[in-house]
């Protein structure tokens, strides 16, 4: 396969996968279903909210299971498995919710969470291997689809719920997921083993190394193959860089979830107009998706260490701005802080892909990506602990998050130090 054919195929795969991620992104539109389900069946809202916690935990489990499914069944079989779980989850919720909240936990929490995690990990791991030269860009484009799912299909789903009821809406989503992922399973293929060589990525890397080191011939002679072999040999749980990255990601994700989950409540507490507060909630998914793409491009240009330091800086500044907004009672400052924090939060997903691929190589990339993506559960738990300890949205919660933002910044500097390439 020549270079032009590979480029045509990989962009077709990328944009088809990004479109499918709109469906996966509905996992973040949980609030669309939570209130109607609680009202229809008379469930306590606190019990209903447990579903999302189960869903996030199942997302991580699904990613880990996806590695084995991908190995045994291939790309097509793994995507069809994800489709089956999603269809069972949405359709099962529609049909079985009337029999008790256990159906919500099993169908929506476990099946949809596991199906989303499996589909996300398998698709990201397959598509990004087509982009050894633009890994950040590729993962950013797909995450943009994931981030915008709750806004685009979520809006359509809200309309169906209002006109036909929630069982019909869930049935429509199940049918959509089936069509989209069955189609994707027939279309998406593995990248050729020698794709880096065909695209000339090895030569590009060596040229960059030569430019950075100003003619250090001894180091430049280390080929891309040798670097890849070294990465493939690293053991993730014995690597200090993994724990540095993981702590960094949990803090950024936790802070982002605090803002995303309470943006409207915070705006109203600062006496902002209710219509504007609703608009702010609508802007957040757009910025979330765009930030993933932007940071993916920055990673491709500047590298992982620079990207992590930049994101940690944004998160620390955002939390500080939010604390100041509550301290001085300034609504406009609160909006700036929210948008900054969402930019940081949306940047984590492409960083996870870049970290797993760059640090641990291609050989077991899906396995390492699944492990790295468990930071989502860690971030969710961190957010819940902080919110419970601080008693909800307040100056105290954002001051606490600013302190953790500083920790994330220091962690990113330590990570850069650990992973800095040394001359041989």
Range 247-251 average pLDDT: 97
Domain locations along the chain: 3-187, 234-419
Distances (CA, A) of 372 to 192, 216, 253, 397: 24, 34, 13, 27
Which stretches of 18-102 are assigned E, i.e. beta strand? none
Which of 262, 396, 278 is CA-nearest to residue 338? 262
Predicted pLDDT at 138: 92
Neighbour-count burial for 245-260, b at 16+ CB within 10 Å, e otherwise:
bbbbbbbbbbbbbbbb
Q: Is 190 helix (H, G, I), strand (E, B) or coil?
A: coil
- Could you give the CA distance from residue 424 to residue 163 in angstroms, rounded to a whole number? 67
Read off the pLDDT band of 422 (50, 70, 90). Answer: low
Residues 6 or more apart whose Cβ sits within 8 Å of residue 31: none
Minimum mean pLDDT among 151-155, 167-171, 371-375, 400-404: which range?
Answer: 151-155
Range 335-342 average pLDDT: 95
> What string of DSSP letters covers 337-405?
HHHHHHHHHHTHHHHHHHHHHHHH-STTHHHHHHHHTTHHHHHHHHHHHHHHHHTSSSHHHHHHHHHHH
Which of 46, 177, 32, 55 is CA-nearest to residue 108? 55
Predicted pLDDT at 226: 67
Percent with pLDDT over 70 in the chain: 93
Minimum mean pLDDT among 78-82, 291-295, 305-309, 411-415: which range?
Answer: 291-295
Percent with pLDDT over 90 in the chain: 58
Range 411-423 average pLDDT: 85
Read off the pLDDT band of 252 (50, 70, 90). Answer: very high
Predicted pLDDT at 211: 47
Do domains 3-187 and 234-419 share one topology? The answer is yes
Range 363-388 average pLDDT: 91
- Could you give the CA distance from residue 247 to residue 74 in angstroms, rounded to a whole number? 32
- Could you give the CA distance from residue 326 to residue 278 in angstroms, rounded to a whole number? 19
User: Taking each helix axis from N to C terminus, what angle separates 201-213 and 224-233, rounded to the nearest 10 degrees?
Assistant: 100
- Could you give the CA distance from residue 5 to residue 195 in angstroms, rounded to a whole number? 11
Q: Which fold has domain 3-187?
A: Growth Hormone; Chain: A; (1.20.1250)
Predicted pLDDT at 256: 92
Q: In the CATH scheme, what is the code of domain 234-419? A: 1.20.1250.20
Predicted pLDDT at 156: 85
Reply yes or no on whether the pLDDT at 303 is more than 60. Answer: yes
Provide the 10 A C-beta neighbour count for residue 399. 17
Reply yes or no on whether the pLDDT at 264 is more than 70. Answer: yes
Minimum mean pLDDT among 196-205, 251-260, 324-333: which range?
Answer: 196-205
Reply yes or no on whether the pLDDT at 208 is more than 60. Answer: no
Q: Is 2 helix (H, G, I), strand (E, B) or coil?
A: coil
Are the beta carbons of 227 and 208 closer than 8 angstroms?
A: no
Predicted pLDDT at 274: 86
Quick one: which H or E segment has residue 407? helix 395-419
Range 60-79 average pLDDT: 94
Reply yes or no on whether the pLDDT at 417 is more than 90. Answer: yes
């Amino acid at each position: 396969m020549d270079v032009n054919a590979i480029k045509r195929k990989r962009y077709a795969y990328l944009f088809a996968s990004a479109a499918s991620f709109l469906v996966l992104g509905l996992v973040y539109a949980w609030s669309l279903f939570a209130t109607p389900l609680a009202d229809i069946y008379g469930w306590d809202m606190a019990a209903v909210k447990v579903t999302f916690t189960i869903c996030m935990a199942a997302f991580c489990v699904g990613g880990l299971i996806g590695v084995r499914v991908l190995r045994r069944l291939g790309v097509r079989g793994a995507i069809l498995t994800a489709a089956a779980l999603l269809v069972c989850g949405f359709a099962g919720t529609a049909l079985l919710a009337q029999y008790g909240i256990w159906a919500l936990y099993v169908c929506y929490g476990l099946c949809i969470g596991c199906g989303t995690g499996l589909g996300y990990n398998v698709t990201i791991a397959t598509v990004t291997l087509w982009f050894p030269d633009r890994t950040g860009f590729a993962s950013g484009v797909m995450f943009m689809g994931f981030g915008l799912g709750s806004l685009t299909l979520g809006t359509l789903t809200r309309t169906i719920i209002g006109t036909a009821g929630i069982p019909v809406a869930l049935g429509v989503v199940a049918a959509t997921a089936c069509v989209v992922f069955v189609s994707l399973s027939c279309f998406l293929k593995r990248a050729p083993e020698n794709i880096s060589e065909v695209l000339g990525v090895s030569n590009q890397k060596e040229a960059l190394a030569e430019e950075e080191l100003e003619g250090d011939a001894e180091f430049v002679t280390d080929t891309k193959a040798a670097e890849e072999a070294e990465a493939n040999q690293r053991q993730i749980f014995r690597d200090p860089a993994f724990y540095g990255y993981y702590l960094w990601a949990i803090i950024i994700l936790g802070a982002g979830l605090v803002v995303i989950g309470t943006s409207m409540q915070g705006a109203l507490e600062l006496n902002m107009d209710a219509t504007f507060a609703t608009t702010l909630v609508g802007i957040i998914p757009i910025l979330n998706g765009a930030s993933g793409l932007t940071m993916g491009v920055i990673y491709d240009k500047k590298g992982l260490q620079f990207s992590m330091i930049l994101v940690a800086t944004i998160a620390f500044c955002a939390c500080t701005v939010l604390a100041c907004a509550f301290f001085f009672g300034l609504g406009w400052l609160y909006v700036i802080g929210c948008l900054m924090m969402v930019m940081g939060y949306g940047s984590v997903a492409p960083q996870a892909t870049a970290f797993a691929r760059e640090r641990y190589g291609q050989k077991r990339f899906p396995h390492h990506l699944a492990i790295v993506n468990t930071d989502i559960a860690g971030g969710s738990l961190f957010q819940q602990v902080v919110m419970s300890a601080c008693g909800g949205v307040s100056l105290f919660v954002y001051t606490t998050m600013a302190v953790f933002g500083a920790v994330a910044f220091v962690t990113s500097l330590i990570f850069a130090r650990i992973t800095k390439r040394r001359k041989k």
